Structure 1
Amino acid sequence: MNGSHSQHRDEPQDEDLGLDLVDQVASSSRAERNSRPKRWILGVVGVVIVAVLALVVFSLLNGGPKASKAAKADDAVIQTIQLKNGGQAVLSSSASEDAIGVDLTSLPGLADGQQYVVWAVHEETGVSVVASSTGDDVDAGLTPAGDVLAIHITVEGSTIPSAPSEDTEASVDLPLDPGASEVPDAQDSGASDTSTPGADD
């Protein structure tokens, strides 16, 4: 009797031990399942970080803003123009880099809600906005630029329209002429040079 009683008393304990083992196995498998997505997410984050670092290094090695890229090329053509209401634009182009650079400086302040907009006129696709500014200096550019026919600089409202306004601050056809900004000075000096011999005669 005592033996059979102790056996019956032990049976629930054996059942409890079995349930405990099942619970332990289930909880460990749940923990493994929970840890797997975390490892997967960490792997993806790692790949993204490596890709971003590679892009940063690539951009650093390939040198700064597009304006500098065009201006620093061995075959760079640079033209300086004065804007109608003040300030100046230094435009640069490079066939080897297939880039156009735009550097605006000393821009006069604008009324509220106005901005300077630099436009590229493309041969087939119409116009695109290269840069905009409410008065800060601009160092921007465009690449590829092989189909650009002209650069326009305008003053627009707070919302940039689909096309430049007709009243431009400056408009320059491409290819650039590096001597274009010096032509008036050259004509003035030429006139004075021709007058001097005439006076001597």
Structure 2
Amino acid sequence: MHSDKTDDFSGDSKTMNGSPSQHRDEPQDENLGLDLVSQVAHSSRAERSARPKRWIFAVIGLVIVVVLALVTFSLLNSETKSSKAAKADDVLTEVVELNSGGQATISTSKQENALGVELTALPPLDDSEQYVVWAVHEEGGISVVSKTSGEDAKGGLSPIDDVLAVHITVEGSEIPASPSEDTEASVDLPLGQSEEPKA
């Protein structure tokens, strides 16, 4: 049987349902690769801007190092002042017994203009308490020289030109603005003039 329909082999390709094919020889196929490259480049730029810059991490790291250095320097500096007074040629030392037990060794040096305090053999305190060493200044100023919850401790202060006395008290977990009246020990400065300087 011969069909009246002639096959259409015109050069246009059609899909099975007879509609024209979408894949004609157009520049669209050639641009497809460029579109992919453009999309990848655009997405990597977006990812780069969304990620924090590396310099931010460097700055944060530097800040942390500086803070740790300052804290370490502060802790070492207090002990340095203590040993500075204790090791000076003109050191004057007084050892006092605390009311609750333990000892405080107070050292001063005019040459180094420094005060050193060492607390030893202290009885342990409750978690909510601590020993505090205070320096009382001429104009009514007060500074904390050292504090501990019962472990041996050293502290120091410099300059000490205006320091009148050293008080040691037991305070709560929060250090008050001034020492409590119930002191463990008090020492007036300058230390006893009758003591001979260390040779």
TM bin (shorter chain): 0.5 to 0.7
TM-score by length of 1: 0.65
> Counterparts of 1:166 and 1:61 in 2: how far apart (Å)?
30
> Counterparts of 1:116 and 1:129 in 2: how far apart (Å)?
11
Unaligned segments of structure 2, at least 5 residues: 1-9, 13-20
Other-structure match for 1:10:
26
Other-structure match for 1:81:
96
Instruction: Give CA deviations for 1:117-174 in whole Å, capped at 9, x if unaligned.
Output: 2111122352222223343222122234333221011234454433223332221122
- Letter of the 1:155 partner, please give it: V
1:162 aligns with 2:177: yes
Contact 1:70 1:76 in 2 (8 A): yes
TM-score by length of 2: 0.65
Instruction: Give CA deviations for 1:160-192 in whole Å, capped at 9, x if unaligned.
Output: 433223332221122223756xxxxxxxxxxxx
Contact 1:65 1:139 in 2 (8 A): no
Identity percentage over the alignment? 52
Q: How does 1:174-185 map to 2 (within 5 A)?
A: 174-177=189-192, 179=194
Which residue of the other structure, out of 40, 50, 57, is the alignment partner of 1:24? Answer: 40
Contact 1:63 1:69 in 2 (8 A): no
Unaligned segments of structure 1, at least 5 residues: 181-201
With 169-178 and 5-14 compared, the bigger mean Cα shift is at 5-14
Residue 66 of structure 1: how far off its partner (Å): 3.5
Other-structure match for 1:33:
49
> Counterparts of 2:56 and 2:87 in 1: how far apart (Å)?
43
- Letter of the 1:164 partner, please give it: P
Which residue of the other structure, out of 161, 165, 177, is the alignment partner of 1:150? Answer: 165
Instruction: Give CA deviations for 1:67-104 in whole Å, capped at 9, x if unaligned.
Output: 22321234433222233443221111234544321101
Contact 2:131 2:147 in 1 (8 A): yes
Which residue of the other structure, out of 106, 109, 133, is the alignment partner of 1:91? Answer: 106
1:122 aligns with 2:137: yes
- Letter of the 1:166 partner, please give it: E
CA 1:98–1:20: 2 relative to 1, 3 Å: farther
> Counterparts of 2:180 and 2:113 in 1: how far apart (Å)?
27
Other-structure match for 1:71:
86
> Counterparts of 1:167 and 1:59 in 2: how far apart (Å)?
29
Residue 109 of structure 1: how far off its partner (Å): 4.7
> Counterparts of 2:172 and 2:50 in 1: how far apart (Å)?
54
CA 1:84–1:62: 2 relative to 1, 3 Å: closer
Richer in helix (by share):
1
Aligned length: 180
Contact 1:116 1:135 in 2 (8 A): yes
With 109-118 and 165-174 compared, the bigger mean Cα shift is at 109-118
Query: Max radius of gyration: which structure?
Result: 2
Instruction: Give CA deviations for 1:38-71 in whole Å, capped at 9, x if unaligned.
Output: 4213432553476468669978997945322321
